[in-house]
Amino acid sequence: MPDTAPAALLHSAFYRFTPLADPAAAAAAVRRLAAGLQGSITLAAEGLSGAVSGTAAAVHAFEAALQQPGTLGGVLRGMAFKHSACTTAPFGRLKVVVKPEIVALGLPGGDALPPPDERDASHLPPAAWRALLARDDVVLLDNRNHFEFRLGHFRGAADPQVRNFRDFVAYVQAHAPAWRAAGTPVAMYCTGGVRCDKTAPWLRSLGLDVFQLEGGILNYFQQLPDADRDWQGECFVFDNRLALDSRLRETATTADQVFDATDAGEAWRLARARRLDAS
């Protein structure tokens, strides 16, 4: 297990693809359960995704409450949580919102695609993922933004140079015919798993054989104390901490080191981070 030095705050990231008949009512219920925590949680008809922080006791109580049979009909039972200790408070407040999708990617095919299945056989636990990395007949695809890849990635991974998600779509469409013709499997990963789960049905619709890292990079770091064997650099996180090392420890990396001010796709992120730092 990773180095978990005592800290005042615990961060917990989670998601679940599951049909929600009334996302607004579900959001109200989740908001009540999360009272006293800080974080950001999104709900939609396809499920929920979020992250919260607070004392370890408060976070664990929230996680337990989410999985009770009386919470949203028990559809969140067994949901996975990725934990990391905090030096910097990750969030300044609690935000629970309802959106059309928990992750909006604008994939070709849209509603015609099968729904994501976060528990299908394409998900590889960290030990099996490590074994897959040793193969030379697999495309290792980073399913994140270019600035995230630049900060850190699995050794040997391809960078689709994503400034907007349409860049990922274009990259896959350009390479899919060759991958398909060669029978080359695609192994993709993202921070927590939700983006890969959303894109996997689309990649399969192109005739590709797909593997995913179960629980994403955060789960890999959580499960393997020697994750730096396979990972180089740091992992960007979308909260005030900015970056974690492979032992889930907050680093000293600053927004100016993460974002390229000369890149239009990153300049606004840098400006926003600077505003948050100044507030």
CB burial of 13-24 (b: ≥16 within 10 Å; e: otherwise) equals: bbbbbbebeebe
Res. 5: pLDDT tops 80: no
Q: Cα-Cα-Cα-Cα dihedral of 253, 259, 261, 263, to 10°?
A: 160
pLDDT at 262: 95
pLDDT-derived band of residue 279, with 50, 70 and 90 as boundaries? low
Q: What's the confidence (pLDDT) of residue 45?
A: 96
Q: Which of 67, 98, 129 is the last residue of a domain?
A: 98
Same domain? 94 vs 118: no
Does residue 34 sit in the same domain as residue 132? no
CA distance 174 to 164: 16
The answer to whether residue 57 sits within a structural domain is: yes
Q: How many CB atoms lie within 10 A of CB 121?
A: 7
* Predicted confidence (pLDDT) at residue 13 exceeds the cutoff of 80: yes
Q: What is the DSSP letter of 160?
A: -
What pTM does this model have? 0.93
Please give the C-alpha separations between residue 190 and each of 33, 94, 242, in angstroms, as whole numbers: 28, 24, 16
Any idea what the Cα angle at residue 121 is, between residues 42 and 169, rounded to 5°?
A: 55
Q: According to the model, what pLDDT value does residue 1 have?
A: 40
CATH number (domain holding residue 212): 3.40.250.10
Give the pLDDT mean for 25-38.
98
Q: What is the pLDDT of residues 134-149, one digit of tens each?
A: 999 999 999 999 999 9
**Residue whose C-alpha is closest to residue 48's, from 197, 163, 166, 191:** 197
> Pick from 78, 98, 118: which residue ends a domain?
98
pLDDT at 49 > cutoff 60 = yes
Domain carrying residue 47: 9-98
- Work out the average pLDDT over 145-171: 95
208 assigned to some structural domain: yes
Confidence tier at 274 by pLDDT (50, 70, 90): confident
Region of poorest pLDDT, from 7-21, 40-54, 62-76: 7-21
Burial class (CB in 10 A: 0-12, 13-18, 19+), 59: buried
Please determine, for residue 94, whether its predicted confidence score (pLDDT) is greater than 80.
yes
| pLDDT the model gives residue 4 | 43
Q: Is 235 a catalytic residue?
A: no
What is residue 158's DSSP assignment?
Answer: B
Residue 207 Rama label (left phi>0; alpha psi -120 to 50; beta):
left
Structural domain total, the chain: 2
Q: Judging by DSSP bridges, how do beta strands 9-17 and 47-54 pair with one another?
A: antiparallel
Q: Which of 86, 190, 196, 235 is catalytic?
A: 190
